Amino acid sequence: MKSDSWKKFMYFIIVFLIMLIPVSGISAESERDWMTNEEFLVKLSEIVEASDGKVETDVAGYSTQGNEVMSVRVGTGDQVLLITGSIHGNEKSGGEALVEILEYLGTSDSFFAQSVRNEITIVAIPRYNVDGLEIPQRQNIFPWDEVVSAYPHLEGAAPAWYYNERNGGFDINRDFNADLNYEVAAEDLPGHTNDFGFFITKESQLLRDLYVELQDEFSHVEAYVDLHHMGTPVMNKTGEDVTIAIDYPPLGPDDSTKYVDYPLLDQDKSKRYALAAARGVKEFSDKEEPGVAQYIAFQERDFPGQARSAFALNGTATVLFEMPGQQPQFGYDQDLVDRVENGLWGIISHMADGSIDDLNGDDFLTEIPRYWTDNITDMRDVMVRFTEEDQFENDRDARLVDNHLAALEIYENQENSEKMVKHLNGFKVLLDNQRENGLIKQEAYNRLNSDANLLLERWENKLYHNTSFLFEGWDSNLID
Ligand SMILES: [Zn+2]
């Protein structure tokens, strides 16, 4: 059975790769820009027309500024895959990749396309934050005085913590609540990063409503993928560019008791889907793809107000894609769009042939490399690179740092919190000494010191039985 599904999977890949051979070979790729909303709508109607009923569009709802937010549906399978692009308006590749996928699935009669259509129902909102996309900006457009007009009972309440005063709008991806019937109450504001959101925006409400409709129709939404952009990090060990980062829901450490009242939460299932995506980027590409990474998810990260977290708590496997470089600074990049697409094909193909449940979710954690620190071993990986990059005045200083980390690695494996706290503090003293004496460059100092602070807070919490985790050092990079 298992080898049969593998054969089928390989067949899918071969058929699909043949589909990718370009017919014309000539294009004006270098001139191409991210599509406008008008271009998107034209393209969408062309796909619907050509699909002969296989692709259907609907107005999922209206943005706060009254613009249509389109949803697109293809396939008739029992498994529902929900996908959103551009929940942040300055992150544009998701919609581009989705248009290519919808076009292929809407027009191809290949065995692969037919199998996908038979096994899966894909429902996508390619351009979700339509108002933010126009500017572009991360948030939607919903100034707080308009919020108070819409919800008079919030008069005098503090704005939600994810409201951005300067941009006059909300981070839609913090506006979700696992209680899908939640209605905003003044006493819950302003909330906190570690709390649920409030369904204040029309945008979060329309995705919530679509999710509930799909639950009613299919009894269960199998998977949700949220497509984003981030900064431009490099791998811990090799220093190579991260070309796509993938994640499962950030809901605190594995031993957290915060979500015991959500029995449908299945983090391992989300990890299987994340693994399928990561492998898909490599399997569906004709390139090496060394830049596939795990997105920042050190154990304590806890963001229940994200759409992917709220849906995961309702039993859906959820996956995040983060592509390097946001808009408008970074222009159209076909390789990048292809990676988004290939990651999605990884999930779609493993869902279509039923092999996704044969994957081992833990492989996502061991097989896919990191560009951030979750343990001392990660710091030692970074040290290999910093040493090669001459971030230290001389080899002796680099060795001193690594020796210290080697000792810490042993205590970490022994889970000796007392020694971890003591020696992490000692490690920070060593770094400070090296900096004061000009023996370490700023980049290495900043990274190692920040990593040490993260791990110190973790081990202090274990030692003193604290439950709150307040580490903010990575916040500027936490843009999912
Ligand atoms: Zn984002």
CA distance linking residue 444 with residue 389, whole number of Å: 10
What's the average model confidence in pLDDT over 353-365? Answer: 97
Task: For the chain, give the percent of residues with pLDDT over 90.
Answer: 88
Domain boundary among 345, 367, 389: 367
CA-based nearest residue to 210, from 116, 111, 316, 352: 316
pLDDT at residue 255, rounded to an integer: 84
The mean predicted confidence, pLDDT, of the chain is: 93
Verify that 120 and 245 share a domain, yes or no: yes
Look up residue 439 and give its two tokens.
Answer: 């023996």
Task: Give the tens place of pLDDT for each residue, 32-91.
Answer: 999 999 999 999 999 999 999 999 999 999 999 999 999 999 999 999 999 999 999 999
Cα of 205 vs centre of ligand 1, distance in Å, is 18
Cα of 85 vs centre of ligand 1, distance in Å, is 9
Q: Amino acid letter at 94? A: G
Half-sphere exposure for 81 (CA within 13 Å, toward CB): 28
Helix/strand/coil for 110: coil
Verify that 264 and 348 share a domain, yes or no: yes
Verify that 428 and 309 share a domain, yes or no: no
Task: Give the tens place of pLDDT for each residue, 171-206.
Answer: 999 999 999 999 999 999 999 999 999 999 999 999
Task: Give the tens place of pLDDT for each residue, 213-259.
Answer: 999 999 999 999 999 999 999 999 999 999 999 999 999 988 889 99
Cα of 129 vs centre of ligand 1, distance in Å, is 11
Residues with Cβ < 8 Å from 178, sequence gap 6 or more?
196, 262, 304, 309, 310, 313, 314
Verify that 456 and 394 share a domain, yes or no: yes
Identify the CATH number of the domain in which residue 70 sits: 3.40.630.10
Indicate whether 377 pLDDT > 90: yes
Could you tell me if residue 142 is inside a domain? no
Cα of 446 vs centre of ligand 1, distance in Å, is 24
pLDDT at residue 31, rounded to an integer: 79
**H or E stretch covering 112:** helix 111-119
CA distance linking residue 260 with residue 125, whole number of Å: 31
pLDDT at residue 26, rounded to an integer: 47
Indicate whether 24 pLDDT > 80: no
Cα of 137 vs centre of ligand 1, distance in Å, is 11
Q: What is the pTM of this model?
A: 0.91
Verify that 106 and 237 share a domain, yes or no: yes
pLDDT at residue 54, rounded to an integer: 98
Cα of 100 vs centre of ligand 1, distance in Å, is 21
Task: Give the tens place of pLDDT for each residue, 384-396.
Answer: 999 999 999 999 9
Domain boundary among 342, 367, 392: 367
Task: Give the tens place of pLDDT for each residue, 303-355.
Answer: 999 999 999 999 999 999 999 999 999 999 999 999 999 999 999 999 999 99
Verify that 339 and 416 share a domain, yes or no: no
Verify that 52 and 119 share a domain, yes or no: yes
Domain boundary among 316, 335, 367: 367
| SS3 of the chain: helix, strand, coil, percent, to 5 | 50, 15, 40
Residue 76 belongs to domain spanning: 2-137+200-367
Indicate whether 21 pLDDT > 90: no
The tally of domains found in the chain comes to 2
